[in-house]
Amino acid sequence: MKKEATLLVTGGSSITSGIHTVNPPVHRGSTVYFDSYADMKRRSSIPSGTVEGITYGTSGLVVQKMFEQAMAELEGGYQTRAFQSGIHAISSALLAFTTSGDHILVCDNVYGPARHFCDTVLSRYNIETEYIPGSAGSDITRYIRPSTSVIYLESPGSNTFEIQDIPAITAIARQKGIVTMLDNTWATPLYLKPFDLGIDISIHSVTKYISGHSDVLMGTVTTCRDVFERFVDFYETLEIFASPDECYLALRGLRTLKVRVEHHEKAALAMAEWLEEHPLVGEVIHPALPSHPDHERFMRDFTGSTGLFAFTFRENYPEETIAAFVDSLELFGLGYSWGGFKSLVTAAAYPRHHSSRYQGKTLIRLYIGLEDLDDLKQDLVTAFERLA
Ligand SMILES: *Cc1c(COP(=O)(O)O)cnc(C)c1O
């Protein structure tokens, strides 16, 4: 009979599962057992990215590999790696492909914290960030220097929804050996295929649609084959990985992504069309509307739209009036992020380096969730009545 201290350590471990559930088991582990010394030597020589190559918890465990493989297949990339947030994925991709003395081009409508990272961290390593207009295309040649190493795009861009001419930009970047990255969070892997458009690295905030329930923070980087070695060396050297629980939830989110996104698409577009007719609304900023300045590019490159867009008021209201409008909404929660089941609203102005048609204007950003559309419209009707 084993003594108590041993029982504490080994109790229950004689039960091996053999049970197969619809969803995968979640392993928690730092140490991963090898069958033998020979197995240890063999597995340590297998490239990462496969379950066979897992030698330690920091390799990422089984459910992480499953999620990464699903993402790489969906996006049409070579391999994916998971991160503990979207911004961590962005900052790591930028660090992996830059060196002191480099110059990088970033679209002016980039996600705010990504801009902050470039301006405050990359700058300390003597990496210069220059912002290009949100609807840049072949005019990008004007900004390229011999030291340009990365072009970073986000399309449609955060908050102001400009669309870049991705194929025109990637064709130029290819010729010059510049690595291109795209934040593809808005379109999801379903509605834009970055690798078909020549992008080298696609980034997602999994926090949004992919996990889909506002209870996960995660990101991914997917690369084409050419740049994978450089990226994965960086990822493994920094021992980046995502927690098994978060990977489990992200994988579960993927299973229902299509039906959720199709609903967000339909509801948001109907809402955008309805708002366009409203007498107090100035401009509705939604790439799938023919009135959107980059609508033609959108139709050419995307196969669908999703649930996030913005509008301006016809009149320039003082801040108290904007506050009253936002605060009177009951079904739209006031809060950052999007991609979950709940409708959300934010209100802000977005200063840009380059001239913008929304300069100085307050943008009301709506995220259309899974509530009944008529109830959401009624919520807005009530808020508009307070303005009139
Ligand atoms: C939210 C967001 C991110 C960052 O994701 P987190 O997981 O919240 O760090 C990056 N890009 C876009 C476009 C986003 O909306």
**Would the CB of 149 count as within 6 Å of ligand 1?**
no
What proportion of the chain, given as a percentage, has pLDDT over 90? 90
Give Cα separations from 48 to 157, 219, 239 (angstroms). Answer: 33, 18, 12
Cα 56 to ligand 1 centroid, rounded to whole Å: 29
Region 140-164: what's the mean pLDDT?
Answer: 97
pLDDT at residue 211 in the model: 98
Max alpha carbon distance in the chain (Å)? 82
Cα separation of 33 and 47, whole Å? Answer: 18
Question: What average pLDDT does the segment 107-114 reach?
Answer: 97
> For the segment 332-350, what is each residue's pLDDT rounded down to a tens digit?
999 999 999 999 999 999 9
Tokens describing residue 210: 């992919």
Whose structure tokens read 């009707």? 381
Tell me, what's the pLDDT at 13? 82
pLDDT of 49 over the 90 cut: no
Q: Is the CB of 207 under 6 A from ligand 1?
A: yes
What Cα–Cα distance (Å) separates residue 229 from each residue in 25, 44, 97, 224? 30, 17, 11, 10
Question: Quick check: CB of 220 below 6 Å from ligand 1?
Answer: no
**For residues 349 and 362, what is the distance between their CA atoms, to the nearest angstrom?**
4
Q: Is 222 in the pocket of ligand 1 (CB under 6 A)?
A: no
CA of 220 to the centre of ligand 1 (A): 11
Alpha carbon 259 to its chain's center = 19
Q: Which residues touch 93 (CB under 8 Å, ≥6 apart)?
A: 181, 201, 203, 221, 231
246 lines ligand 1 (CB under 6 A): no
Q: How many CA atoms does the CB half-sphere of 266 hold within 13 Å? A: 9
Query: Confidence band (pLDDT; 50, 70, 90) for 11?
Result: confident
Q: Is the dihedral of CA 201, 206, 207, 209 positive or negative?
A: positive
What is the average per-residue pLDDT within 134-150? 98
Question: Which pTM does this prediction carry?
Answer: 0.96
Pocket probe mutation, ligand 1, options 205, 206, 220, 309, max atoms within 8 Å of Cβ: 205
Q: 156 CB less than 6 Å from ligand 1?
A: no
173-210 burial, b at 16+ Cβ within 10 Å, e below that, comes to beeeebbbbbbbbbbbbbbbbbbebbbbbbbbbbbbbb
pLDDT at 8: 82
Q: What is the mean pLDDT of the chain?
A: 96
The per-residue pLDDT for 19 is 86
Atom of ligand 1 nearest to the CA of 208: 1
Environment class of 261 (CB within 10 Å of its CB; exposed 0-12, middle 13-18, buried 19+): buried
Task: Read off the amino acid at residue 370.
Answer: L
Tens-place pLDDT, residues 222-279? 999 999 999 999 999 999 999 999 999 999 999 999 999 999 999 999 999 999 999 9
Residue 387 exposed, middle or buried by CB count within 10 Å (0-12, 13-18, 19+): middle
pLDDT at 281 over 90: yes
Mean pLDDT of 176-190: 98
- The residue whose CB lies within 8 Å of the most ligand 1 atoms, and thus the one to mutate among 84, 85, 87, 191, is 87
Evaluate: CB of 339 within 6 angstroms of ligand 1: no
Q: What is the pLDDT of residue 16?
A: 80
Gap from CA of 156 to ligand 1 centroid (Å): 13
Residue 115 C-alpha to ligand 1 middle, in angstroms? 12
Q: How confident is the model at residue 10 (pLDDT cuts 50, 70, 90)?
A: confident
Q: Is the pLDDT of residue 388 over 80?
A: no
pLDDT band at 381 (very low <50, low <70, confident <90, very high): very high
244-255 and 257-276 helices, crossing angle to 10°: 70
Give pLDDT tens digits for 29-44.
Answer: 999 999 999 999 999 9
Residue to probe by mutation, ligand 1, list 88, 90, 208, 338, most atoms within 8 Å of CB: 208
Whether ligand 1 lies within 6 angstroms of the CB of 205 is answered as: yes
Tell me the pLDDT tens digit for each residue of 68-81.
Answer: 999 999 999 999 99
The yes-or-no verdict on residue 137 having pLDDT over 90 is yes
Dihedral-angle region of residue 287 (phi above 0 means left; psi in -120 to 50 means alpha; beta otherwise): alpha
Let me know: does 47 contact 40? Beta carbons within 8 Å.
no
Task: Check residue 57 and give its pLDDT.
Answer: 93
Q: Which of 207, 247, 338 to mutate to test the pocket of ligand 1 (most atoms within 8 A of CB)?
A: 207
Banded model confidence at residue 92, pLDDT cuts 50, 70, 90: very high
Ranking 45-59, 98-112, 163-177, 245-259 by mean pLDDT, the lowest is: 45-59
Cβ of 217 below 6 Å from ligand 1:
yes
Q: How far is the CA of 340 from the centre of ligand 1 (A)?
A: 13
